[in-house]
A and B are shown apart, each in its own frame.
Chain A
Amino acid sequence: MTRRRPTHPRGVIDAGLQSERTYLAWQRTALAFAGVGALLSYAAVSHGRALAIPGGLGLLVGALLFSQAQRRYRLTVATARSERALDRRMVAGVAAAATLLAVASLGTLLATA
C-alpha cells in the first residue's frame, strides 16, 4: 500500500504562517508597550505624577497597536501574492513611539528622582 506524499494545496496563501507569526509579533509588541505604560503609571501613583505622561503614552500606543495589528494582518494576507510593497508607515510610527517613550521616561525619571 502506497501512501500519497503530502503536498501543499496549490492555493496556500500564507506559507509557513508567516503573516500570522508577524501578526503575533505585532501583538506581543503592543503588549510590551502596554506593560511599560502600566509600570510607569503604577510608579506615578507613589513617585510623582509626571511619570503618568510616559505611562499614558505607553498604554495608548499599546492599545492603538493592538487594534492596528488586526488590520495589518488582513492587509498582509491580501497583498502577499500581489508583490506590492507593504505599508511601512506603521514600522516608522512604532519606532518613533518607542524612541519617544524611552526619552520621555528618562526625562521624567530624572526630573522626579
Chain B
Amino acid sequence: MTEVGRRLLRPRPDRPPLDDVGDPPDYRFSLANERTFLAWLRTSLALLAGGVAVVQIVPDFAVPAARPVLGVVLIVLSTVIAATSYGRWERRERAIRLGGPLPRSTLPRVVGIGLAAVMVLALAFVLVEVARGFG
C-alpha cells in the first residue's frame, strides 16, 4: 500500500466513525444534508460545463488568452467544490448527530469571490472587444 493510502486509512482517534458518534438523527435532517451536498455537486458540474463551453464552444475574444483563462478559473472552482464536498457533508452529518451547531464553511466566500473574479474578467474582455470594434 502506498504512503498516501496508509495515511488515508489510518484510524483517527479524534474522528470516530460516523455511526458511532452521537445519536441517530431525525432522518429528515440527514436527507436535507444530503440534498445540500447534491446541490453543491450540481453547482460544481454547472461550473465545469461553463468552463468547457468557454474553452471549446465560445468564439474567440480579441484578447487571445481570454477563453483559456476564464475556462481554467471556472474548472478550478468546480474542482475545489467537488473535492471538498464529501468532507463538508461528513462534518455536517457529525454535527447533526451530536446536536451541535453546524460547522462553518468558507466555501460560499471562496465561490463568491471566484465567480466575481470570472465576471470582472469577462467584463474586461468584452469591453476590449467592444473598444476594438469601434476602433
A and B associate: yes
Which residues of A are in contact with B by a Cβ distance under 8 Å? Answer: 15-16, 18-19, 21-22, 25-26, 28-29, 32-33, 35-36, 39-40, 43, 47, 51, 76, 79-80, 83-86, 88, 91-92, 94-96, 98-99, 101-103, 105-106, 109-110, 113
User: Per-residue 0/1 for B28-41: is the Cβ within 8 Å of any A Cβ (1 yes, 0 no)?
Assistant: 10111011011101
Query: Per DSSP, are chain A's interface residues mostly helix, strand or loop, or mixed?
Result: helix
What CA separation (Å) do A83 and B85 show in the bound complex? 24
Q: Is the interface of B mostly helix, strand, loop or mixed?
A: helix
B contact residues, total (Cβ < 8 Å): 39
Rounded to whole Å, the gap between the CB of B119 and the closest CB of chain A is 20
Shortest distance between the CB of A72 and any CB in chain B (Å): 10
Interface pair B24/A32, CB less than 8 Å apart? no
Q: A105 with B48: in contact, given A18-B31, A32-B42, A95-B85 (CB under 8 Å)? A: yes
B122 contacts A by Cβ under 8 Å:
no
A104 vs B57: C-alpha distance in the bound complex, in angstroms?
18
CB–CB A32/B46 < 8 A: yes
- B42, A105: Cβ atoms under 8 Å? no
Distance from B2 Cβ to chain A, minimum over Cβ atoms (Å): 17
